[in-house]
A and B are shown apart, each in its own frame.
Chain A
């Protein structure tokens, strides 16, 4: 799966969980500071990413992710390591 496809899916998931317009979800957007995610959202987001991409993310790494771009990176790495 290429990066742009991952990014598109990531934005869709974030938009659904945080109920915000995809336009606001830029690569540099910080989940907490820009998108208003709280700790409950973080749990929901990780679960949704795992389901969306059929992966199991490293918990520590997943919860330390700050930005949308970093989430895309982590998912891409996880997918590559799986294959």
Chain B
């Protein structure tokens, strides 16, 4: 939502979903045309309110008297559905305003998506709507459906009204909606609300999410987006839905944003691409990101029809060994655990199953298993306290009574507060059983891997809902004023980055464990400093204009003696002379050389949609090659920081791998917390790399060895 615009009120959104009267503005009698179908669908699918056709040339539509103009209607109108061609939608909107209508849907295409002339039309319509305080969906959309029998509204050109259910779907794409509806109908999946919002010139997904938070008929919201316009607002809205109402938001997000492809000069910028940031931000907000329409609907069905699993321990039950082993592999790949049955379960399974059955997990009840055996084993599985849910597999063999087994699965499902998912493998033979399961609310999956993946998704939702609350760390020993001063000076001087000395001082002001840096103007000074701070030392160029010092031969590490210090000084000066950069060098920086520890990288980048992005990973020169990094959006709480650190593949290195000492992970947690605070308090920092942060043995802290800071409003240094 643009901050300038008047916010959409709850009444307006209520008029959108529960209008007492609707005018379809611009309808006609041409069957199979959008203007006709919209009117016809509202009428056919049993809309409970008053419906008015507005058509400039037709006396009636479907035997209902039509009005030439919307202003001719005497009664009040709650919702206008505008189906005129885009070139005259502004005229229709103007009349809606004159009529006092406050909510509209513009179905018509031919706006922003059609080029500059269309964009101009969209602005014109939006300006009129703003002038009259009208909130509207669209333009360029499929419309809206509300399956609530109290309203029964199909103001869309979808072919059929979906079944009633508790899943809401919000989609930027209209065409995708029709495909989802068709798929859903085939699998007995019902919806509560359904909105295609198209160009979202006014009402957007955030408005709709917040409305659905309080919709008692909606338990889960599915969102299809091609572009995330306000990532932070989306995160906040999704968090609110989950934390206040336990309503998960699942998203199918296509395309990479253009912002993410922007040129970047630091490691963080290069690694924090739009999709990586999007992924991390959605996860942080508890939003489940799905990759296909099927994943989206599978997860939604499990959420609304089954209890959420209280843990990751699954029991797998099958009448064929191969699929059981496959499912085990998929489950483990998805981070699930194969439950170990209790002694009681093991003994009971032994008693109820044939001798050659496998009574360990996965349970193989053999190919000749009939409904009785399935039901008995399933009951034992669900009863076991070590089992968080059961995955049932069936292969159709000549003696398999598929229908009876499906009924048995349903009856067991009802008896336990644990999820039960099924895969009846095959096609024609199992179809009746599959239909029975789906219409009974038992999640059924065509593929074993989808069943395991979806179980893992529902685990994540439960983990999120039950996680212990954690607070964002606040450091009171920071000095924002001192940190901001060099930023202001540099920006005023037109600089795009801070020198290493200034950047180090900035980090010091924020309590980071930095090394003192001393400037030497002569060889003698360099040696004096080195002896004062004790060898080994590092020497590097101090420059207002050279940022990548290594590339210019401007850094020498591990200088161990006076002779080496003199030689290092001369080498750097010669390198600068050879590169023609002597005039850019303002002296040499001398600091202590630190090598005892693991190198990690901490980074910060501003994302246009999500704001400040924090990065953590194993550091050093191969960071971009290995891409072993994790991201969070600032501010970040302590538990999330700890999770962020554990997420990287190389985490065991920090725990002490193959005899190496355990590192001071707590000091990394503190540094990321400080970076999060810095990101929020110094918004002119565009990108920041601390690479490396050397993490010492547990209890001995860490040390910032190098830092680069780019300022905002600069593309490249």
In the complex, chain A residues 22-70 whose Cβ is within 8 Å of any chain B Cβ: 30, 32-36, 38, 66
Using A38-B28, A66-B87 as known contacts, say yes or no to A33 and B92 having CB atoms under 8 A apart: yes
Which residues on A sit within 8 Å (CB–CB) of B28?
A: 36, 38
Give the shortest distance, in Å, between B60 (CB) and chain A (any CB): 13
Residue of B nearest to A31 (CB): B88
Does the CB pair A35–B87 fall under 8 Å? no
Query: For chain B, what secondary structure do more than half of its interface residues adopt (helix, strand, loop), or is it mixed?
Result: loop
The chain B residue with its CB closest to the CB of A40 is B30
Instruction: Tell which of A18, A20, A36 has the most Cβ of chain B within 10 Å.
Output: A36
Q: Which residues of A contact B84 (CB under 8 A)?
A: 32-33
Closest CB in chain A relative to B653 CB, distance in Å: 67
B717 on interface, CB distance cutoff 8 Å = no
> Contact between A18 and B57 (Cβ–Cβ < 8 Å)?
yes
* Contact across chains for B57 and A32 when beta carbons are under 8 A apart: no
Q: Whole-angstrom distance between the alpha carbons of A32 and B35 in the complex? A: 13
- Is there contact, CB below 8 Å, between A38 and B88? no
Counting chain A residues whose Cβ lies within 8 A of the other chain, the interface size class is 10 to 19
Residue of B nearest to A41 (CB): B57
Q: B196: which A residues are within 8 A, CB to CB?
A: none
Distance of A36 Cα from B85 Cα, bound (Å): 11
Task: Decide: A33 and B56 in contact? CB cutoff 8 A.
Answer: yes
Which residues does chain B contribute within 8 Å of A20, judged by CB atoms? 57
Q: Residues of A contacting B91 with CB < 8 Å?
A: 30, 33
| Complex alpha-carbon distance, A38 and B33, angstroms | 11
* A36 near B88: Cβ-Cβ < 8 Å: no
Chain B, residues 92-123, CB within 8 Å of chain A (1/0): the string is 10000000000000000000000000000000
Q: How far is the CA of A38 from the CA of B87 in the complex (A)?
A: 12
Distance of B7 from chain A, by nearest CB (Å): 30
A33 and B91 CA atoms in complex are apart in Å by 7
Q: Are B30 and A36 in contact (CB under 8 A)?
A: no
**Residue in contact with A36 in the complex, picked from B55, B87, B92, CB distance below 8 Å:** B55
- B153 to chain A: closest CB distance in Å? 26
**Bound Cα distance A35, B28 (Å):** 12
Residues of chain B in range 49-92 having any CB-CB distance to chain A below 8 Å: 55-58, 84-85, 87-88, 91-92
Minimum Cβ distance to chain B for residue A28 (Å)? 11
Give bound CA distance, A36 to B84, whole Å. Answer: 10
Which A residues are in CB contact (< 8 Å) with B92?
Answer: 33
| Bound: A11/B583 CA distance, A | 81
Give CA–CA (A25, B92) in the complex, Å: 19
Minimum C-beta distance from B30 to chain A (A): 7
**B98 smallest CB distance to A (angstroms):** 14
Closest partner residue, chain A, to B85 (CB atom):
A32
How many angstroms between the C-alpha atoms of A18 and B28 in the bound complex?
Answer: 14
Residues of B contacting A35 in the complex (Cβ-Cβ under 8 angstroms): 56-57
Q: Are B87 and A34 in contact, with the CB atoms below 8 A?
A: no
Q: Which residues of A contact B56 (CB under 8 A)?
A: 32-36
Check A33 against B88 for contact (C-beta < 8 Å). Answer: yes
Q: Which chain A residue has the least Cβ–Cβ distance from B55?
A: A36
Q: What residues of chain A lie closer than 8 Å to B57, measured between beta carbons?
A: 18, 20, 35-36
User: Bound state CA distance, A35 and B57, in angstroms?
Assistant: 6
Contact yes or no, A30 B58, CB < 8 A: no
Question: Do the beta carbons of A38 and B30 come within 8 Å of each other?
Answer: yes
When distances are taken between beta carbons in the complex, the residues of chain A under 8 Å from B85 are 32
- Nearest residue (CB) in A for B58 is A36
Closest to A32 in B: B88
**Distance A36 CA – B53 CA, assembled complex (angstroms):** 13
B681 vs chain A, min Cβ distance (A): 54
Q: How far is the CA of A33 from the CA of B95 in the complex (A)?
A: 11
A70 shortest CB reach to chain B, Å: 12
Chain A residues near B26 (CB, 8 Å)? 33
Which residue of chain B has the shortest Cβ distance to A39 in the bound complex? B85
**Cβ of B88: which chain A residues have Cβ within 8 Å of it?**
30, 32-33, 66
Chain A residues closer than 8 Å to B87, beta-carbon distance: 32, 66
User: Which A residues lie within 8 Å of B58 (CB)?
Assistant: 36
- Smallest CB gap from A18: residue in B: B57
Query: Which of chain B's residues have a CB closer than 8 A to the CB of A34?
Result: 56
Chain A's nearest CB lies how many Å from the CB of B479? 63
Contacts of A36 in B (CB 8 A): 28, 55-58
Provide the bound-state CA to CA distance between A30 and B68, in Å. Answer: 13
CB within 8 Å of A: which B338-360 residues: none
How far, in angstroms, from A33 to B57 measured CA to CA in the complex? 9
Q: Which residue of A lies closest to B56 (CB)?
A: A36
> A83 CA to B91 CA in the complex, in Å?
37
The distance in angstroms between the C-alpha atoms of A30 and B69, with both chains bound, is 13
User: When chains A and B are docked, how far (Å) is the Cα of A30 from the Cα of B56?
Assistant: 10
Q: From residue B397, how far is it (CB to closest CB) to chain A in Å? A: 60
Complex contacts, A66 vs chain B, CB 8 Å: 87-88
* Docked CA distance A33–B92 (Å): 8
Least CB distance from A42 to B in Å reads 10
Binding site for B on A (CB under 8 A): 18, 20, 30, 32-36, 38, 66
A-B contact pairs, 27 of them (CB 8 A): A18-B57, A20-B57, A30-B88, A30-B91, A32-B56, A32-B84, A32-B85, A32-B87, A32-B88, A33-B26, A33-B56, A33-B84, A33-B88, A33-B91, A33-B92, A34-B56, A35-B56, A35-B57, A36-B28, A36-B55, A36-B56, A36-B57, A36-B58, A38-B28, A38-B30, A66-B87, A66-B88
Other A-B contacts than A32-B88, A33-B88, A33-B91, 6 sampled, CB-CB below 8 A, are A20-B57, A30-B88, A30-B91, A32-B85, A34-B56, A36-B58
- List 7 tightest A-B contacts by C-beta distance, closest first: A36-B57, A36-B56, A33-B88, A33-B91, A32-B88, A34-B56, A32-B85
